Chains A and B, each alone.
Chain A
Amino acid sequence: MATIAASKPTPATNAQGRKALGFRLPPRTVSYLQSAPLIAILGFFFLLPILMILVVSFWDYDFAGLYPDFLTMNYEETLGSWVTWKTYLNTLKYTVVVWALTTFIGFWVAYFLAFHIRTTTMQMVLFLVCTVPFLTSNIIRMISWIPVLGRNGLVNSTLIEMGIIPAPIEWLLYSEFAVILAMVHLNTLFMVTPIFNTLMRIDKSLIEAARDAGATGWQILWNVIIPLAKPGIAIGSIFVVTLVMADFSTVQVMSGGQSASVALMMRNQMSLLQYPAAAANAVVLLIVVLLMVAAILRVVDIRKEL
């Protein structure tokens, strides 16, 4: 219906336009003109930067400047160093843990919103409540954890006052725990949204049909709801994996500089003006992330959702 309504007026306006202009552009040119703004934006802000990174990653450098060249040295240094491998491993560890936690929490939040809240209005209200933290910046939300988790922060002082612990817990802040906590906090909504979306599309009569066939609550969850939520889980996973793989601020702030990530490594290289090394690193990270996304897409067919 919508496509009929939308496409019908087009020939009419075209016909009038032609008459008014008195000349006719070939249809192919018109299509290219229409897509030109998007091509320009993607070209300047997406393709060009990536190409530049790719080119620079082969350049030579010293403390004073960059020298156009075609060297594989940057890649050799990046891939040949055990620091890189260790950092990648650390980043992957964060990604896996954060992905697992956000998927678990995100699924249940979405499940609650989709199946336990009866009115659409209430669903929308609660969903908007989930998005409220996004009205402040990433950094501020992250920094807010410091007074909560710090040595004399809310958690520690409360526990000490209640007499549960004799001395402050040291690993609450500036630790891997803090990094993962902040990452889960920052990224869970990216999981909730697509899963909520797929759950809302599940025909409620499917659940009744499953119950009619004798399925218990868990069997319905495992055999009907989770399989049908897979595309949403996949889309959420792509968001979370790409965001966590590219993160440097959370790791830096929440670990107090004691932990590393690939992006943080790149930032350090840039602050030392080693742009070609950082570029090579970026290309490697890009390839790794693309492979991860491809793997996700291979497991789950998300086309239905797009």
Chain B
Amino acid sequence: MMTKAAEIDIVSVSKIYGSTTAVHSISLKIPSGSYCCFLGPSGCGKTSTLRMIAGHETISSGDIRLGNTVVTDLPPARRGTAMMFQSYALFPHLDLVDNVAFSLKMKGVDKEERRAKALEMLRLMQMEPYANRKPAQLSGGQQQRVALARALITDPEALLLDEPLSALDPFLKIRMRAELKKLQKNLGITFVHVTHSQEEAMALADIIVIMSDGRIEQAASPREVFERPATAFVARFMGDHNVLTGRVISSADGVLTLQVPEGQTFTVAGEGRAEGSPIDIGIRTDRVRLSEPGEKTLGFNGVVSNVEYRGASVKITVMGAGSEDFTVIATDADYFEKPVAVGDAVSLSWRLEDAVLLGSAAA
């Protein structure tokens, strides 16, 4: 029913509050009809960015374009965006029909017409049976559906969602997540979703934008973020890679050799780094084996500091090579074949191709 979707183009946008800069001149293109997740720890600038797209926050410098329109100075309602708020922000004094019809009422649509349209929207969200209830009489998941209905009734080109799932319990979170994805597919409009959950972003997004300290660390597909994290921050934040930090000691044939402060040396595929320059590498946690390094593998010796049983896998934390929490995810079969306990000295190994070169944070 709604097919128009807009590309969102963010051009060197900054947000400055007094003396603190929340967003440092970020640039990003979100293709039309895609599901984009802004991911990062609290205070990283992801919500400020979303609110600037929505028009609820002024843009200190830079421009935002939506489709063919520069929306930088337009009020929220004239941008073609709709926002869904973290706490849903449903009007407590209005029933569901009036909540959903609110924007139509503001436009001066007459009562019969706006109520009919609101009911249709509620039907789409399967909330029609509750049409005459007040928001306080609904569960969290139901409130979210109403908030979605209210946002979508304006026929937006882009829907902006501010941590939409954070108020829900874990089971509902997963269910509503699937509903959001389905809705986005059906409507074909651009969704921009702010979250601090890696799992949520991986599950939903076409593009994940990882932010830290007001800057974009990486903007890429979930697969690329997972397989080739751009920076040490992304690798640590996504949690699927161990990060080792050292200095380059030699570079040959597309292979860099680095040395960590503790003295061990490792190699990683990559080039273009000067000898002596600082370097971070990431090693997939699920590819590390609890075995002696052989000819074709790399590794080091460390001491087990923690073991967590997770059913199908076991998470083993090891101290060594300058890392306090080098993580190994072993399958339960592998682990129980040769179990280790806290305090044991272990050898870890991985293959060259399981290590990735990480860009430096300043780059």
Contact = CB atoms under 8 A, between A and B. Distances in A.
Contacts of B76: 211-212, 214
A206 B75 contact: no
A211 B77 contact: yes
Contacts of A212: 54, 56, 76-77, 82-83, 103, 151
Given A210-B91, A212-B54, A219-B106, 7 more contacts: A205-B86, A209-B89, A211-B77, A213-B150, A214-B103, A223-B106, A228-B93
A215 interface: yes
Contacts of B106: 210, 213-216, 219, 223
Interface of B is mostly: mixed
A305 interface: no
B102 A210 contact: yes
Contact of A208 (B85, B105, B154): B85
B135 to A, nearest CB: 11
Interface of A: 203, 205-206, 208-216, 219, 223-224, 227-228
B93 A205 contact: no
Interface of A is mostly: helix
A205 B135 CA distance: 15
Contact of B89 (A208, A215, A228): A208
Contacts of B85: 205, 208-209
Contacts of B89: 203, 205-206, 208-209
B92 interface: yes
B71 to A, nearest CB: 13
Given A205-B86, A206-B91, A228-B93, A211 B103 contact: no
A223 B105 contact: yes
Nearest to A206: B89
Q: Give the top 3 A-B pairs by smallest Cβ distance, nearest first.
A: A214-B77, A213-B103, A209-B89
B102 A223 contact: yes
B87 interface: yes
12 contacts: A208-B56, A208-B85, A209-B85, A209-B150, A210-B91, A212-B56, A212-B83, A212-B103, A213-B106, A215-B106, A223-B105, A223-B106
